[in-house]
Amino acid sequence: MNVKKVKFIIIGGGLSGLTTANILLEKGEEDFIILEARNRAGGRIFTKEGIDLGATWFQEQHIYTNDLLKKYNLDSFKQYSRGKSVLIYNSMAPAHLFESDPNAPGAKRICGSSEALIKALSKPVTANLELDSPVTSIKMLDHYLEVKVSDQNYHAEKVIICVPPKIAKNIEYTPPLPDNLIEVMQTTHTWMSNAIKVGISYPEAFWKKKGLSGTIIGQIGPVIELYDHCNALENKYSLMGFVNEGLREETKASRKERILTYLEKHLGPEAGNYKSYIEKDWSKEKYTSGKSLKSEYMSPQYGNPIFEKTFLDGRLYFSGTETSSVYGGYLEGAIYSGLNAAKRILS
């Protein structure tokens, strides 16, 4: 079997893995590869037709995200929230209209979509990135770890796992990982794993003309959250949000009809005059959700201290937003863990 020898292997080409890879490159380390199971980089950052169907928002206090955007000359803009928003809390009562405080610190988005950050991070490490490379096993040998991808073996001094802990648990480890680590990996909720996102583009931002923000909040409708998703240049007009998971087993046609009817009711008949309608059900993503789907409506617990330890003779490290001790489940958590992982393996 063919064997490739490298100093470092990064498993997962999402935001965390790409952040680590770029730091290695900056520190003069070129002897590494990124093994990404999907046919694209980015992980749970995924943009289609200009609509962010994965990670979307960050905030002013997310210092690592803001710093990374500056570093790659990427701008950001404030999430649109002016005008009346719709709150639906009772199917028997009329919707409640409210206005957000325009001076309150709000969510921000990346100009050119979240994918712009992935493109910027991918470019310097293109030569190190191997797509369609799902890792099946990691074995500890005398002075290195053997990482297997179908018919290809890799030998590395150190390996960083940057995929969700529940997905990483499916890799075969020799010797086996400690029981307490396996337990934490199994019980750590995978951020986005149960989300269904919808994006609808329009010929114009009709909601703004009507004095509406485009925001709809309510657990009882077919869309539990909806937001304005126009681009920074204000020349592409769309709404984006989260579909009620109760609609998961319905056909796409049925979901679409129910969602559009709902939007027409609360935003006006113009909601039916759309240009495109797209969905992304992350539970169907093998490398995000896996087989056991568990929805978390309370804030999941991230950043278990066990992920700060090393395993397999100090050669195996964990990273990713679920492992982050700060802002786990956010872009910020992924970036922080990526920076932290680079620092740890280089020390």
Mean of pLDDT values over 158-166? 98
Could you give the domains of the chain? 2-46+117-189+298-346 (3.50.50.60), 76-110+194-284 (3.90.660.10)
| C-alpha pair distances (Å), 328 with each of 70, 190, 319 | 22, 10, 11
Distance, CA of 183 to CA of 347 (rounded, Å): 28
For 226, what's the count of Cα atoms within 13 Å in the CB-facing half-sphere?
A: 30
Mean of pLDDT values over 258-285? 97
222-269 pLDDT, tens digit each: 999 999 999 999 999 999 999 999 999 999 999 999 999 999 999 999
Strands (E), 162-231: 172-174, 196-202, 212-217, 223-228
15-64 pLDDT, tens digit each: 999 999 999 999 999 999 999 999 999 999 999 999 999 999 999 999 99
- Residues listed for the chain: 347
| C-alpha pair distances (Å), 92 with each of 97, 98, 218, 220 | 16, 19, 13, 11
Tokens of 191: 């951020």
What is the per-residue pLDDT for 299?
Answer: 63
Q: Is the pLDDT of residue 123 over 70?
A: yes
75-91 pLDDT, tens digit each: 999 999 999 999 998 87
Mean of pLDDT values over 158-168? 97
Give percent of the chain above pLDDT 70. Answer: 97
Give percent of the chain above pLDDT 90. Answer: 90
- Candidates 345, 313, 310; CA nearest to 140 is 313
Mean of pLDDT values over 189-207? 97
What is the per-residue pLDDT for 2?
Answer: 82
Q: How far is CA 93 from the centre of its chain?
A: 35
What is the per-residue pLDDT for 287?
Answer: 94
Distance, CA of 154 to CA of 326 (rounded, Å): 32
Mean pLDDT of the chain: 95
More confidently predicted of 100 and 308: 308
What is the per-residue pLDDT for 104?
Answer: 79
DSSP string, 267-312: H-GGGGS-SEEEEEEGGG-TTTT-S------SPPP---GGGGS-BT
